Structure 1
Amino acid sequence: MTIHSIRRTAVLTAAAFAFPVALGVAAAPAFAGPQASGAFGPACASVPKEGSGSLAGMARDPVATAASNNPALSTLVTAVKKAGLVDTLNNAKGITVFAPTNEAFAKIPTARLDKILADKAELTKILTYHVVGENVSPQKLHKGSFKTLEGGTLTLAGSGKSFTVNGKARIVCGDIRTANATVNVIDTVLTPM
């Protein structure tokens, strides 16, 4: 699936449905288990050691399914389902997802989050802004800017194992591999300019 077909699917999906939703954000436990080879960041220490939510378990599933097995990403998974992007993300190849944690969504005032979740077009725009149509390996993270499926740009900065996205979101567990994507878990929801 190409970037253009993913973007087109996201736009068509947003235009086709509207689901009014009010979602209360409840704090979920952070990741729970040891760091695996390749993954980096402070939250990786709490990824489950075994099971479908572990790093090995996530590597077996496509990205949306893998995220659904991780309790720290439950709000993101709910939003992806509401936007109708599960199949789009699961069928894409070689993408990178910057995945906000439940705590990242909890930073958004409840009334604002409810409004976003009730507006499928806006929700789709925000979610596709978190997806880059290429594999952004740790070696590429320091290289600057990457075009998102939404059409905007994410700017990364940092070195070693400490990176920020757009100068405000920190990668708290990076380089998580799924069957079709690389996931970098972030601590802030990003908004398109």
Structure 2
Amino acid sequence: MLGKRRLTALAAAGAFAFPLALTACGADTMATQTTGGTVSAMAAEEFGPGCAAVPKDPNNAGSFEAMAQQPVATAASGNPLLSTLVTAVKQAGLVDTLNNAEAVTVFAPTNDAFAKIPKADLDKVLADKALLTKILTYHVVAGKTAPAQLAGAHKTLEGQDLTVSGSGADFKVNDSAQVVCGNVQTRNGTVYIVDTVLMPPS
């Protein structure tokens, strides 16, 4: 776990570096199907009720097709569910870090998730770069995690674990955040959109 003093120094220097190594839990999100002795790649589907809010036009920057072509922070910027998260990522100076990561899994809070936080508290967090960085990196795990590997404990880039429970198309993170749209692919990341902001343990 990163000490607060260390985290503050790193954030102030703009040098908060994400580990780029793949982890054991970062399994590929592609399934394989054998047909007549040949193996073909088959992309897994997005799931969850929140996926209905994602634009259907593949030419829209927020569509699944468009997001799959962009690195994760850029992909999120086109998604109408994630505009507050994108603002927070920019405020923390983490856009390039996320976009340049080799492979990550992001638990991305919706605008409504941020709206659950009293405005005065949210404004205070957005103004504190070190605290904001701590919270945002708690939402990121190294490696692309497929739905089949999602349940269990995952070490976040903040340094502490988060825990996912559930199966199929029904997952909760830390028993508080529901995955409302899961397995969203970007060029370098897999995104699970959640309905509550995750707070790292003290």
State the TM-score, normalized to the length of structure 1.
0.82
Q: Residue type of the partner of 2:46?
A: A
**Paired residue for 1:61?**
70
**Paired residue for 1:172?**
180
User: Matches of 2:155 and 2:14 in 1, distance apart?
Assistant: 25
Matched, 1:74 2:72: no
Any runs of at least 4 consecutive aligned residues in structure 1 with deviations exceeding 6 A, and if so which? 8-11
| Bigger Rg, structure 1 or 2 | 2
Pairwise CA RMSD: 2.0
Matched, 1:122 2:120: no
**Paired residue for 2:27?**
none
What is the correspondence of 1:107-118 to structure 2 with a 5 Å cutoff?
107-118=116-127
Runs of 5+ consecutive residues of structure 1 not aligned to the other structure: 1-7, 18-35
Equivalent residues of 1:133, 1:148 under 8 A apart: yes
Higher strand proportion, which one?
A: 2
The structure 2 residue matched to 1:38, chosen from 45, 65, 72, is: 45
User: Matches of 2:134 and 2:48 in 1, distance apart?
Assistant: 27
Deviation at 1:74, TM superposition (A): 0.4
User: Matches of 2:92 and 2:104 in 1, distance apart?
Assistant: 18
Q: Residue type of the partner of 1:173?
A: C
% of aligned pairs identical? 63
The structure 2 residue matched to 1:150, chosen from 153, 158, 164, is: 158
Q: Residue type of the partner of 1:45?
A: A
What is the count of residue pairs matched by the alignment?
A: 167
User: Matches of 2:154 and 2:128 in 1, distance apart?
Assistant: 26
Deviation at 1:117, TM superposition (A): 0.5
The structure 2 residue matched to 1:12, chosen from 3, 7, 10, is: 10
SS in 2 for 1:76: helix
